[in-house]
């Protein structure tokens, strides 16, 4: 059953040092506010999981909170590389980072397998690809019915999944609209889940029932954080802050500037600041 909490309480109650955590979103509804609360609480030694790690993972990694990254594509979308991630991999700054790299197809199938309670995902993929040479978790199996060789990877079952959504009702049912990645699968695969939302509504009466993506019994904690996806966007609420992504490249390239940015924009701020940051982006979707 979903529990309504503050962001501070939801993170403290559901995430512990050494956990595996997925902060999912696909260009849209990326849970930045939740990741910033993890940084403020200094919860580290994490295995971070994400289909497309972007700047929130650059921030978590740059703060030394990650020991391993399970991922497919990683980058600052529309800009380039993740400089704090690269520094961790190449130079061990601020700490070494282990990598487990997959394809998008593998990650999506692994989340679906986790959501279904299966130990492994089996799919067509990786033929002709070089990832098998660097990732021992990519295996091959033979179909017992056709004899076809198929790819197999472990199911993804995070300790905690964090996502952002538009609405939750008073019962804790969660409504997500617009572009989706694997948010639903991540929540269903995880042991615990924290969903930040733009607002709480009385109910979803008058809306199509298929818009209720996550029923309340699949969600551990619901937290109201208006603007909580910034600088990504939330359909129906605010647009993408493209300038913030461009600025991040220069911020992350300089370690002293990165640390100063974290001190000013994360450590000294609470979740309320996100509503202020999207004030000029409303209607710009």
pTM for the structure as a whole: 0.96
Q: How far is residue 274 from each of residues 106, 107, 233, measured CA to CA in Å?
A: 33, 29, 12
Sequence-distant (≥ 6) Cβ neighbours of residue 161 within 8 angstroms? 21, 22, 24, 183, 186, 187, 189, 190, 192, 193, 194
Q: What is the pLDDT of residue 284?
A: 55
> 3-101+157-274, which class in CATH?
alpha beta
- Write out the residue limits of the CATH 3.40.1080.10 domain(s) in the chain: 3-101+157-274
pLDDT score recorded for residue 2: 93
- Please work out, in degrees rounded to the nearest 5, the angle formed at the alpha carbon of residue 200 by the alpha carbons of 199 and 202: 140
Closest CA to 27 of 61, 93, 77, 67: 77
Q: Are strands 174-175 and 212-214 parallel, antiparallel or unpaired?
A: antiparallel
Q: Residue 100 has what pLDDT?
A: 97
- Tokens for 223, please give them: 């937290």
Averaged in consecutive runs of 10 residues, what is the pLDDT profile of the chain (285 residues)?
A: 95 98 96 98 98 96 98 93 97 98 96 98 91 94 96 98 97 94 97 98 87 92 98 96 96 98 97 92 66
The position carrying tokens 């559901």 is 14
* pLDDT value of residue 129: 82
What is the reported pLDDT for 78?
87
- How confident is the model at residue 285, as a pLDDT? 55
């Amino acid at each position: 059953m979903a529990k309504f909490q503050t962001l501070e309480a939801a993170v403290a109650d559901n995430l512990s040092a050494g956990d595996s955590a997925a902060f999912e979103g696909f260009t849209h509804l990326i849970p930045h506010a939740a990741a910033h609360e993890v940084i403020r609480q200094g919860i580290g030694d994490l295995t971070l999981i994400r289909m497309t790690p972007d700047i929130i993972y650059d921030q978590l990694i740059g703060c030394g909170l990650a020991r391993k990254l399970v991922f497919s594509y990683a980058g600052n979308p529309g800009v380039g590389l993740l400089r704090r991630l690269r520094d961790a991999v190449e130079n061990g700054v601020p700490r070494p980072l282990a990598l487990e790299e997959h394809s998008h197809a593998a990650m999506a199938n692994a989340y679906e397998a986790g959501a279904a309670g299966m130990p492994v995902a089996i799919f067509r993929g990786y033929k002709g690809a070089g990832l098998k040479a660097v990732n021992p978790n990519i295996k091959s199996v033979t179909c017992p019915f056709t004899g076809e060789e198929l790819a197999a990877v472990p199911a993804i079952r995070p300790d905690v999944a964090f996502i952002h959504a538009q609405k939750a009702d008073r019962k804790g049912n969660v409504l997500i609209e617009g572009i989706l990645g694997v948010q639903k699968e991540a929540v269903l695969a995880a042991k615990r889940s924290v969903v930040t939302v733009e607002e709480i509504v009385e109910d979803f009466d008058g809306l199509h029932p298929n818009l209720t993506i996550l029923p309340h019994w699949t969600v551990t904690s619901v937290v109201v954080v208006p603007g909580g996806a910034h600088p990504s966007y939330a359909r129906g609420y605010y647009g993408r802050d493209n300038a913030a992504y461009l600025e991040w490249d220069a911020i992350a390239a300089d370690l002293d500037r990165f640390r100063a940015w974290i001190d000013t924009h994360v450590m000294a701020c609470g979740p309320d600041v996100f509503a202020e940051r999207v004030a000029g982006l409303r209607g710009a979707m």
